[in-house]
Amino acid sequence: MDVHFKKYHGLGNDYLVIDPNVRDVVMTEANIRLICDRNFGIGSDGILYGPIFDVGRASPRAGGASCEDAQPTGEIPRLRILNPDGSEAEKSGNGLRIFAKYLFEKQYVRSKEFQIQTLGGTVSVQVKDDVAGMIRINMGKVTFVSDEIPVAGQRREVVNEALDVNGVDFKVTCLSIGNPHCVIPMEQVSEERARAIGPFVENHPRFPNRINMQLLKVIDRANIDIRIWERGAGYTLASGSSSCAAACAAHKLGLVDNDITVHMPGGTLHIEIMPDGEVFMTGPVEGTFEGTFHADLQKRISKSKV
Ligand SMILES: N[C@H](CCC[C@H](N)C(=O)O)C(=O)O
């Protein structure tokens, strides 16, 4: 069967993999919005577009391509992460675990340890259990420095800082792990609260590139509970980079140790903060669907690059 896309989820945070080597789709904002629309399109929390090989290699033959065809140079495959609103993200934890499983399943990579290039840097991946889909990713180091997130204002670490959100004052801790995050500790977290304040935080003028938001409840020194409002995607059941960000913010505030389980409505992720600051994330992924675009949808997917 002519497969155009594969769909997976990481703890209910679902993504479509569109592989330009199998069937290319121009990633215009309009196409992304249409494909991700849960009523008029296929529906997902985003698109994982790749693997892209930049060394000018002829892409592997469609279908059944293996790494020998695509990567004689041992080139690190590149991934583009597209949010449902058409914006492009620097990193996605669930997206990277899903893409790692895809690369392994399609035999683009030969070993269970490999790297993936993203806008937010190159990450190292370990397929811990290809049957169970348990993937461990080194998400890199975080920064709390305002210019590197970015957060407007004089250069500082954004830790426990006052932020007026639609007339309500919160204390926020902001950081980047490639993509930007605003963590708000509170006694009780809920979907309702995340949906109520998320859009105001995401689009707050203090965040020039917008921002992902997490409501953080610290359960004990090894467990936290978060609710997520994602930049460009809205409320999601889980988020890998948000899990890393919330765990690192809680650690920065002295509220947790280095080994943290992050609880979310979609499930749990295991976060390890190493002595050198590198952040490891381990969790499951699962494939759910593979299929083709119906001719009617195909007609609406623009081939023009604008
Ligand atoms: N919406 C995010 C990217 C996806 C993050 C999330 N799905 C994850 O698993 O990390 C952003 O614009 O930075």
SS3 175: strand
Mean pLDDT value across residues 16-43: 96
Which residue from 49, 85, 92 has its CB within 8 A of the most atoms of ligand 1, so it is best to mutate? 92
In this predicted structure, what is the pLDDT of residue 119? 97
Q: How far is the CA of 46 from the centre of ligand 1 (A)?
A: 9
In this predicted structure, what is the pLDDT of residue 59? 43
- Which is the closest atom of ligand 1 to the Cα of 179? 13
- Which is the closest atom of ligand 1 to the Cα of 210? 12
- Which CA distances in Å does 5 have to 25, 35, 43, 52, 98? 10, 11, 12, 15, 13
Banded pLDDT at 69 (limits 50, 70, 90): very low
Which residue from 96, 176, 179, 183 has its CB within 8 A of the most atoms of ligand 1, so it is best to mutate? 179
What is the residue extent of each domain of the chain?
4-129+286-300, 141-284
Contact 252, 245 (CB under 8 A): no
Distance CA 198, CA 221 (A): 26
Is it the case that residue 262 has pLDDT exceeding 80? yes
Q: How far is the CA of 199 from the centre of ligand 1 (A)?
A: 15
| Least reliable range by pLDDT among 58-67, 95-104, 165-174, 241-250 | 58-67
Banded pLDDT at 1 (limits 50, 70, 90): low
- The larger pLDDT score, comparing residue 132 to residue 40, is at 40
Structural fold of domain 4-129+286-300:
Diaminopimelate Epimerase; Chain A, domain 1 (3.10.310)
Distance CA 252, CA 16 (A): 34
In this predicted structure, what is the pLDDT of residue 142? 98
Is it the case that residue 248 has pLDDT exceeding 80? yes
Beta strands in the chain (DSSP E): 5-10, 13-18, 47-52, 78-82, 88-89, 113-118, 121-129, 134-138, 161-165, 168-176, 180-185, 212-220, 223-230, 234-236, 259-264, 267-273, 279-284, 286-291
* pTM for the predicted model, two decimal places: 0.94
In this predicted structure, what is the pLDDT of residue 55? 74
Average pLDDT, the chain: 93
Mean pLDDT value across residues 242-253: 98
Mean pLDDT value across residues 161-180: 97
Mean pLDDT value across residues 182-208: 98
Mean pLDDT value across residues 84-100: 98
Binding residue positions for substrate: 13, 83, 93-94, 179, 212, 230-231, 240-241
| Of 271, 260, 197, nearest in space to 228 by CA | 197
Binding residue positions: 13, 83, 93-94, 179, 212, 230-231, 240-241
Do 4-129+286-300 and 141-284 fold alike per CATH? Answer: yes
CATH, domain 141-284, list 3.30.70.270, 3.40.640.10, 3.10.310.10, 3.40.190.10: 3.10.310.10
In this predicted structure, what is the pLDDT of residue 73? 54
- By alpha-carbon position, which residue is closest to atom 7 of ligand 1? 239
Banded pLDDT at 75 (limits 50, 70, 90): confident
In this predicted structure, what is the pLDDT of residue 202? 98
- Which is the closest atom of ligand 1 to the Cα of 228? 6
Share of the chain above pLDDT 70, in %: 93
ipTM > 0.85, yes or no: yes
Mean pLDDT value across residues 122-127: 96
The ligand 1 site (C-beta within 6 Å) comprises 13, 81, 83, 89, 92-95, 179, 212, 230-233, 236, 239-242
Is it the case that residue 180 has pLDDT exceeding 90? yes
Mean pLDDT value across residues 250-271: 98
